[in-house]
Structure formats: C-alpha cells, structure tokens
C-alpha cells in the first residue's frame, strides 16, 4: 500500500466518521437522547467494521456472491492483498508450468533416468527407465537392487566414489552395451542414468581391434624387412656404392615404422583393460635408478642431469606401463632440449601424495598446443619430432597409463625457457 493511498484511505474514513457522527449528533440534539444516540452510533460503527471484515475475508476465500469491502481502510487493504494474491498466483502458475515442462522433457528423454534415495530406494523414473528396467509406478519406494540383480551393477551402485561410468555389455536380458552413471544430486539423493551406447561402443571396439590387429600383422613382415636391411648394411663391401644411401634411409624409416607399431600395440594393450590383473607394488625408486643409468650413458656428455629420487617410495600399479610413462617423459625432455641444457627428474612424496616431475630447459611449448599434446600423432613440430626419432604416440601412452593409475598429466611450459611435465599419485 503506498503512503498516499493510505493517507487517502484514512482521510476518507475520517470524513465518513465525521459526517455519520454529525448526523447522529443532530438526531441526539433533536431527541435529547444523547447517551443512547452515542451508543447507537458506536454499535452502528462496529457493525459496519465487522461486515467489512467479513467481506474482506470472504472475498479472499473467493466465496461467491460476496462484494468486496467498500469502506475506507478495508477497501484499500483488500485491493493490496488481492493484488499480491494475483501476483503470487501468476508466479505459482508459471512455476507449475515450468516444472510440468521439465517433467515432460525428462519423461521424453531416450536415456533412462531413475531418482534414488540414499538407500537406493526408487523415488521417480522416466518412461525409458520404465521400459529398460521393467519397473512400474507401484515399484516406487522399493530398493533398486531387488529389481536389477546384475552383480556388477549392484556393486557399482554400492560404491561410495562414483567418478567413473560403468559399461555393461549385457543388461536386463539385452545384449547391448549400456553406459551407466550415478550422480549425487540433492542432499544425498542419487540420479541413475542408463544410456544405450551400443553403436558407439561397437565402433570404438572395431577401431581398437583394427589398430591392434593391423599393428600385429605388420610387425612380423617389418621385422623380416628390417633384418634383411641390417644384413645388407652390415656388408658394405658387397653393396654397390649408389645403393648405400637409399639402403641407409630405408633402414632408418623401417626402424621408425617399427617404433610406431610397438607404440600402437602398447596403446591397445593399455586400452584393453587387462592391466587391472597385473597390479603389484612397483618400486618406483628402483625403476627410476635403472632408467638413470641408461640416460646418463646416453646424454651425460651433453646435458646437465639431475635425478632426485626419494628412496623406498613405492606405488601400487603396473610396472611396465609405468616404466614407459617415465621413459617417455624423460626421453622427451632430452629430445626437445638443445645440447648444454639441464634436465631434472624428481620422485618424492609430501602430505598430498606421491609426485613425479621432469623439468627441462628446452624449447618449450606455446599455450595453444598444451591441451592437444596427448592426442595420438599430435606434434608441435612434425619435422623435429621425426628427426629425433619420435612416433607422436609417447604422450598418448602416458595419458592412458596415468588414467589407469587414477592420475593425470600436468604440463607447464614457456616457449624458449623449458617445460615441466608432472603427475601426482595418491
Ligand atoms: P613425439 O614422438 O613426437 O615426441 P609425444 O607424444 O612424445 O610425441 O609428444 C608430442 C609432442 O609434444 C611432441 O611432438 C613435441 O612437439 C611436444 N613435446 C613433448 N615433450 C616435450 C618437451 N619436453 N618439450 C617440448 N615439447 C615437447
């Protein structure tokens, strides 16, 4: 109620009181019944207020055939409250509309969605979930485990840390691949999402199998070709002079191809998930000391090398792939650092976990490349990579191995100053 409308309502009420009181007083003067007339006036005034209050309340309750109050303050009060009421109703209608739209949209989603309580009791689900999980509205309140009895699904559901999705290659009697993911979404409530990714999953599998098979098939013929080339190079006297250079180049290229094939095979081995079965306690300090011996043998004349390795620091993981992470990062540091530079390798622990770092004073990498370096065959300078014997797969291998060890590669770099490649383990 604005201040001017309040004062207008009060002045109208006062004018009404003055006029009606004037009439009653005139009547009292005529009749001489002053006290009686005064009581009659008070009674009349009270009845008027009670009637207005009744109208006010009845109108708010939307009782039919009751007029809105027409007296001073009540009229103003009613106009204000009904205005607010209309605004609230409009807002509520709008919200209802939105939540209906949202409900309809989630119902129409092709992904199965189930809302669960902390104890996995079903609260709500959409049409796709109804079809996929064969659940009915009467199942609301039941534990999901009593309806879906697949052990790996139940185990996933019971996990506390739900960071990674689960891929189910057969589910609820269907031989299709489903991507299953669970999120905490509201005060401990959980949202289960099941998406049919059969085609995509199959395509990725076909690609992986193709790369693995092709690399495997190419490996043997290439070893034979390489063997013959080496044999020829080893007997330079029996080779015509004009064949020496082409033979040298053929040998170099076949070695490069061999390296690429080995890296492709390593990648498909890492992707095939068989690593989980080979987890042991890896003595990283010993692994790094062995690498240090080779590195010093190869590079100590041309580089300033520092290995700072904390003794006895072990890591739960798979040794061979971890070793390829360390070798890839360390050999990259030398390959991309001009002679005379410095390379430091650190393996240490602190309160936040275990850390591996390789720091170089090399050519550095500009920012726009950093996010793409772990893509297969992505190189900043293709010619330089090839010249230094690179396959373009080293950092892709590093990324995949680290993922399997719940870690990730971090890169800090400055053009012309050098780079730090690091990863943290828990
Ligand atoms: P490559 O066999 O080409 O070295 P990688 O996957 O190991 O392939 O690395 C990808 C690219 O990242 C390299 O081609 C290079 O451009 C860049 N790179 C990797 N390590 C370093 C480094 N320490 N300093 C500068 N550039 C680097």
Q: 76-86 pLDDT, tens per residue?
A: 888 888 888 88
Residue nearest to atom 27 of ligand 1 (CA): 336
3 state DSSP class of 239: coil
Question: Which pairing describes strands 304-309 and 342-350: parallel, antiparallel, or unpaired?
Answer: parallel
**Residue 360's pLDDT band (cuts 50, 70, 90):** very high
Alpha-carbon gap, residue 36 to 101, rounded angstroms: 66
Is residue 387 over pLDDT 90?
no
What is the reported pLDDT for 162? 67
pLDDT tens-digit map of 284-294: 999 999 999 99
What is the reported pLDDT for 81? 86
- Stretch(es) of the chain classified as CATH 3.30.450.20: 109-196
What is the reported pLDDT for 274? 66
What is the reported pLDDT for 364? 95
Which helix (H) or strand (E) is 346 found in, with range? strand 342-350
Q: What does the mean pLDDT of the chain come to?
A: 89
Contact 314, 405 (CB under 8 A): no
The candidate with the shortest Cα–Cα distance to 397, out of 425, 374, 422, is 374
Average pLDDT over residues 308-315: 92
Is residue 276 over pLDDT 80?
no
What is the reported pLDDT for 370? 93
* CATH numeric code, 280-425: 3.30.565.10
The candidate with the shortest Cα–Cα distance to 194, out of 114, 119, 262, 305, is 114
Q: Is the dihedral of CA 338, 342, 345, 348 positive or negative?
A: negative
Is residue 273 over pLDDT 70?
no
Query: Is residue 392 lining ligand 1, measured as CB closer than 6 Å?
Result: yes
Query: Is residue 195 lining ligand 1, measured as CB closer than 6 Å?
Result: no
What is the reported pLDDT for 241? 87
Strand partners, 410: 422
Q: Which atom of ligand 1 is nearest to the CA of 364?
A: 25
Which residue out of 261, 332, 343, 386 has the highest number of ligand 1 atoms within 8 Å of its CB and is therefore the one to mutate?
Answer: 332
- Stretch(es) of the chain classified as CATH 1.10.287.130: 200-271
Q: Which atom of ligand 1 is nearest to the CA of 328?
A: 7
* Phi/psi of residue 399, nearest 5 degrees: -60, -50
Which segment of 229-243, 264-278, 285-299 scores lowest on mean pLDDT?
Answer: 264-278
Alpha-carbon gap, residue 167 to 175, rounded angstroms: 12
Residue 182's CB is within 10 A of a number of other CB atoms, namely: 19
CATH class as words, domain 200-271: mainly alpha
Alpha-carbon gap, residue 418 to 345, rounded angstroms: 14
pTM score, whole prediction:
0.67
What is the reported pLDDT for 46? 92
Q: Which CATH superfamily is domain 109-196 in?
A: PAS domain (3.30.450.20)
- Stretch(es) of the chain classified as CATH 3.30.565.10: 280-425
Residue 210's CB is within 10 A of a number of other CB atoms, namely: 11
């Amino acid at each position: 109620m604005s201040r001017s409308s309040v004062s207008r309502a009060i002045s109208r009420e006062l004018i009404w009181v003055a006029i009606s009181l004037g009439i009653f007083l005139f009547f009292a003067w005529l009749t001489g019944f002053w006290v009686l007339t005064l009581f009659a006036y008070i009674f009349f005034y009270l009845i008027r207020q009670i009637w207005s209050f009744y109208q006010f309340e009845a109108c708010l309750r939307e009782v039919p055939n009751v007029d809105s109050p027409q007296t001073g303050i009540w009229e103003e009060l009613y106009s204000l409250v009904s205005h607010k009421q209309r605004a609230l109703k409009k807002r509520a209608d709008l919200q209802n509309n939105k939540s209906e739209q949202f409900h309809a949209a989630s119902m129409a989603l092709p992904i199965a969605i189930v809302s669960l309580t902390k104890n996995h009791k079903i609260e709500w689900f959409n049409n796709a979930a109804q079809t996929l999980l064969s659940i009915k509205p009467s199942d609301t309140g039941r534990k999901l485990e009593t309806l879906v009895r697949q052990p790996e699904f139940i185990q996933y559901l019971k996990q506390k840390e739900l960071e990674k999705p689960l891929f189910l290659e057969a589910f609820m009697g269907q031989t299709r691949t489903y991507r299953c993911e669970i999120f905490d979404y509201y005060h401990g409530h959980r949202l289960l999402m099941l998406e049919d990714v059969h085609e995509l999953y199959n395509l990725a599998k076909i690609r992986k199998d193709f790369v693995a098979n092709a690399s495997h098939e190419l490996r043997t013929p290439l070893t034979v070709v390489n063997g013959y080339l080496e044999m020829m190079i080893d007997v330079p006297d029996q080779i015509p002079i004009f064949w020496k250079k082409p033979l040298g180049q053929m040998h170099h290229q076949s070695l490069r191809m061999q390296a690429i094939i080995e890296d492709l095979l390593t990648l498909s081995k890492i992707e095939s998930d068989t690593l989980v079965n080979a987890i042991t306690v890896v003595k990283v300090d010993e692994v790094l000391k062995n690498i240090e011996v080779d590195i010093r043998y190869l590079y100590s004349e041309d580089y300033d090398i520092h290995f700072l390795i904390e003794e006895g620091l072990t890591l739960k993981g798979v040794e061979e792939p971890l070793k390829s992470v360390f070798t890839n990062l360390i050999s990259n540091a030398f390959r991309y650092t001009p002679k005379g530079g410095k390379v430091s390798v650190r393996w240490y622990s602190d309160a936040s976990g275990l850390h591996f770092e390789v720091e170089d004073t090399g050519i550095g990498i500009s920012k726009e490349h950093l996010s793409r370096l772990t893509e297969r065959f992505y190189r900043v300078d293709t010619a330089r990579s090839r010249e230094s014997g690179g396959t373009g797969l080293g950092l892709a291998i590093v990324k995949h191995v680290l993922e399997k060890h719940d870690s990730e590669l971090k890169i800090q770099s400055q053009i012309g100053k050098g780079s730090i490649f690091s990863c943290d383990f828990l």
